[in-house]
Amino acid sequence: MNQNPPVQPYIVSDMRDKASSSSSVPDRSIGAILIKVGRLSVADAERVMRHQVERNVRFGDAALALGVLTEADIEFALSRQYDYPYLLRGESAISESVVAAYEPFTARVESLRALRNQLMWRWFETGEERRALAITGAERGDGRSFLAANLAVVFSQQGQRTLLIDADMRHPTQHDIFSLENRVGLSSVLSGRNGLEAVQRVPSLLDLSVLTAGAPPPNPSELLGRPMLGQVLRELAPRYDVILIDTPAGDECSDAQMVAGRAGAAVVVARQDVTHVDKVHDLIGSLNEARVHVVGSVLNHF
């Protein structure tokens, strides 16, 4: 990955003075970022800067040559410089299945970004009212929740105000994936017991919010079938650029079709060597009957 352009050497004492002044602009150089998070000592930063000046190289190249930093350290600092947050394993309660947050520079996350771009072109950028998209699948275990969570992250990393809604009230997972409270959520909003304050921000990932499924209701199909879901989506639309909705499996209940109907569009997920083709055909047929725009299908390898 390309590193940042050469940076002017900074003086450690000046950096400390800046940190103590609330009115000054924070130092966003690689060295300052890594010192702040404890991945680089002040003494090592001074060594790197001397080597940088002597060899006329970039800070990152100097640090790598001295063995003070790793490529992962440089990537981490660059992500902070360009407001492209990602997580470090062992330092976050978010599930490691959110590969877009933990492995942003890998090939499989690049495929998620390619999917994000296609969804922007095919749906979200084709009309002002097109904010919501259901992530559906024919069978359990096809990777709907995995895809919904990771798509939500890559949309938010692009700077899109992103909301992920867990509409799978039978087998909710997004609260576990993002380590969030699930006492209130979509079920309590649709039953009128809570308002949109039930939406939770994900602090470590900019521009990402989650509305969990909430306490399991005895009547999920009836709740999701009420006009209230459409009203909630209309109220949320002005607040977000992208709203992704995780749904139950299509062969278990009619919830997925009802949610997709309220959203207006859906993506159908199938998992290689797991999902049955006839069940995918049945799901797409039921979505077409409900006048849901099927934006496309995704073959999940992960």
Question: CA nearest 154: which of 121, 211, 114?
Answer: 114
pLDDT of residue 98: 95
pLDDT of residue 81: 66
pLDDT of residue 192: 92
What's the farthest any 2 CA atoms get from each other in the chain?
71
Query: In order of start, what are the domains of the chain with their CATH numbers?
Result: 12-81 (no CATH), 99-300 (3.40.50.300)
The helix/strand/coil state of 170 is coil
pLDDT of residue 104: 86
- Model pTM greater than 0.85? no
The helix/strand/coil state of 269 is strand
pLDDT of residue 82: 59
pLDDT of residue 83: 64
Segment-wise mean pLDDT, segments of 10 residues, the chain, 302 residues: 38 32 55 83 89 88 88 75 71 91 90 95 88 93 94 94 96 96 95 94 91 94 92 95 94 86 94 89 92 92 74
- Both structure tokens of 42: 């002040």
The pairing of strands 200-201 and 208-211 is antiparallel
